[in-house]
Chain A
Amino acid sequence: MVDKDILQHICTAIETPDPDETVKAVEKAVDFGVAPLEIVGALTDGITTLGDKFERMECFLPELILGADAMDVSMKLLKPKMEELNLETGPAGTVVISNIQGDIHDIGRDIVVTMLRVAGYQVEDMGHDVKPNLMIDKALECDADIIAVSTLLTTSLPFAREVLRLLDARGLSGKFKVVMGGGAVTPEYCEEIGAGYGDNAAAAVKLVKELIDGGDSK
């Protein structure tokens, strides 16, 4: 019964979202000897509810960011305990993301980054106006699964195509999956250049999950 109350407290705190309260609740759960996987389950339930609320516009991007921050800190707290028990502590996969060269429209990317974090992925957010080659360098550096490109500008689409051309030129074709989204991107364009397409943030997360869990991420 105590465990159930503590887990509910974690779930509610992250759903609120209240990062400080979440961390306190997780610490309390650890002190009470609650199984780490159960704590992770409560955190996941809370953050999933928060993501659903965002989808329904019942909460907004800053709240989602706070929830994702709370999740990150909580997972770091749990890491030693989980390693002690030989439990998996790594992320579900790694995604390198940016607004490609010439594009500075951050907020759409911010939403995707936060939702990917909420879904448990390690996200290397390179910000905006990033050259295609730098994205590839970063993907190699962090052994990424996915390179995700965002652009709202049609005039930055050529740089998105360049990511795939450079992967080919550098002998890295097939090493990373490339996905795209943003106002200027269409499914037809993605099909033409050989990238995956995400219509919105939720679709992007689903696509990443399919590509990584599908086992053909690299």
Chain B
Amino acid sequence: MRSNIFEYIRRAQNGTYMDENDFNMKLFRTCSKLVKEYDIKFDKEKIVVGDEAMADRLFKASLDLCLEMGMFCVDTNRIIEFTMEELQTALMLAPQEMILGEGKDIRVMRARKFDDGYRMTVCGGCPGTPLPEELFLPIMMSYAKEPLLDIIIPGSLVTVDGMGVETGGPLEIRACRQEMMWMREALERAGRPGTHIYAAGESSATELGTLAICNPRYMRISDSHMIPVLSELKTDKIRLSRVMTGYEYPAFTTSLIDPIIGGFGGGPEGAALVQAAAMIMSTTVYGVDMHCLHPIHNKYISGSTKEGLWVDSITGRAFAQNAPLASLADAWTTAGAGTEEILYETAALAITQEMSALHTDSLGATNGVYPNCSGLESRFFAEVTLAAFNQKLTVDEANELVLRLFKKYEHGFENPDLGLPFPEVYDIKTIEPKKEWNDTYKRVKDDIAAMGLNFAF
């Protein structure tokens, strides 16, 4: 394991004591200072960031933030402090290429750089979305059937035998195992049994669920599980226990970073700074192989807000230029399956992520609240990224396109169209989109093609 986890546990027990509120307010002051000092500015007309110098400044500022704040352990009120040498060593040792999955279904996950000739690795699925037992398998099959999706992330199983799954309870164990069994079955039925399952054990709210799937029957070592950084720049014993889970069961690991735009980091600039610092801290303390980026708008939640797109874009650029890491951005949309809006949001997210040297962690329709999701919008995401990559869009062209797409869905933030549940957009026997959803997809694809995006097919 790359992280010196025992040393960081020691610091979590013995570091400087601080009141949590004081840590939060210090973070705000420090972010405000660094944003000013490094001249980091959000521009709502330049969502896809092309400013290389500003991205470099963000990277430097995030190292400063790590040194000034450290990582707060909420169970002990202690600060895990870092030296610059520790941070830089961790970044240097971060994997640049990983072989995910098994057999003919392997995919290479790369720490992306600009113009390296590789396109993003597309993860399909419905991260964080609560799925009922009876629909879990058909919904996940709708993703497994999509050949453009390189790796798969399951949704969350919310009931077992009709009972609600509780954090830390016996059903958390059962739910995480059942998720993996069904996810594997979906992949086997789609003829791709070796496909990497990203963030295995989605229903794992504590270490119980993760520990329960550390067995090749459930999570293989070619799969990955998730270790969140608590917002903002915090950890706790449960998160550190997940790190320890991976100590002798070397499945891949990914962070989950959710800076709140408008929260303790401040606005988009501060959220980007916090996100970048959390990437460095989780590389250092958790020794994760990948990162899941998920900035949250304090009012609209979605990643498709201008602020959310910008935060991911500048963060992606900052690391691609300075210390490449394998970073997958979540793509949470306000709208749900069956609507035009979800496809326009999808396209904006896909273009922004591709142009910012990011991978995707797939779509969370309706911000992961309703099971109104399907494989079709994930397919569309992959098609858009492929088009943007093959077309070699410039940053300015991509930005113009994203701004035009934004106009197509921005009304939904105040009045979201949540779309339709899976059985209403897909035939659950054939696991194929119903005509109306397919027609909507074709109509939006034609419209975006008319805007200048050259789809491969």
Which residues in A have some Cβ–Cβ distance to B below 8 Å? 54-55, 57, 60-62, 65, 101-107, 111, 153-159, 161, 183-184, 186, 200
Contacts and interface: CB of A to CB of B under 8 A. Distances in A.
Nearest to B270: A60
Contacts of A111: 263, 298
B172 interface: yes
A30 B338 CA distance: 61
Given A104-B236, A111-B298, A57 B262 contact: yes
A157 B315 CA distance: 33
Interface in B122-172: 130, 156, 158, 163-168, 172
A62 B28 contact: yes
Nearest to B167: A102
B166 A102 contact: yes
A217 to B, nearest CB: 27
Interface string B283-326: 00000000000000011010000010000000000000000000
Nearest to B155: A154
A201 to B, nearest CB: 8
Contacts of A158: 163-166
Contact of A61 (B230, B260, B369): B260
B370 interface: yes
B164 A157 contact: yes
Contact of A154 (B156, B238, B307, B367): B156
A102 B260 contact: no
A124 B264 CA distance: 21
A110 to B, nearest CB: 8
B267 interface: yes
B264 A107 contact: yes
A186 B370 contact: yes
Contacts of A105: 231
Interface in B9-61: 24-25, 28
Most buried by B among A61, A106, A154, A184: A154
9 contacts: A57-B261, A60-B264, A61-B262, A104-B236, A154-B203, A155-B166, A155-B203, A156-B205, A186-B369
Nearest to A103: B167
A11 B112 CA distance: 50
Contact of A60 (B267, B301, B368): B267
Given A104-B230, A154-B156, A155-B205, A60 B166 contact: no
Contacts of B301: 183
Contact of A57 (B25, B236, B298, B370): B298
Interface string B250-277: 0000000000111110110010000000
Most buried by B among A62, A101, A161, A183: A62
Interface string B223-252: 000000011100010100000000000000
A184 B167 contact: no
Given A57-B262, A154-B203, 11 more contacts: A54-B262, A57-B298, A61-B263, A102-B166, A103-B205, A104-B74, A154-B165, A155-B158, A155-B167, A155-B203, A200-B299
Nearest to A202: B299
A208 to B, nearest CB: 18
A54 B163 CA distance: 39
Most buried by A among B130, B167, B203, B262: B167
B4 to A, nearest CB: 25
Closest 7 CB pairs of A and B: A102-B167, A158-B164, A62-B28, A155-B167, A154-B130, A155-B205, A158-B166
B299 A154 contact: no
A99 to B, nearest CB: 11
Contacts of B367: 183
A60 B266 contact: yes
B165 A61 contact: no
A111 B260 CA distance: 11
Contacts of A186: 369-370
Given A154-B156, A183-B301, A60 B263 contact: yes
A200 B264 CA distance: 17
A183 B368 contact: yes
A158 to B, nearest CB: 4
Contacts of B264: 60-62, 107
A61 B266 CA distance: 7
Contacts of A107: 231-232, 260, 263-264
A107 B172 CA distance: 24
Nearest to B129: A154
A78 to B, nearest CB: 25
Contact of A153 (B167, B230, B261, B299): B167
Contacts of A57: 261-262, 267, 298-299, 307
A197 to B, nearest CB: 12
Given A60-B263, A61-B263, A155 B236 contact: no
B25 A62 contact: yes
Most buried by A among B74, B264, B270, B367: B264
Nearest to B418: A186
B382 to A, nearest CB: 26
A57 B270 CA distance: 13
Contacts of A184: 130, 369
Contacts of B232: 107
Contacts of B24: 62
Nearest to A185: B369
A153 B368 contact: no
B166 to A, nearest CB: 5
Contacts of B236: 104
Nearest to B204: A155
A101 B167 contact: yes
A107 B297 CA distance: 12
Interface in B200-237: 203, 205-206, 230-232, 236
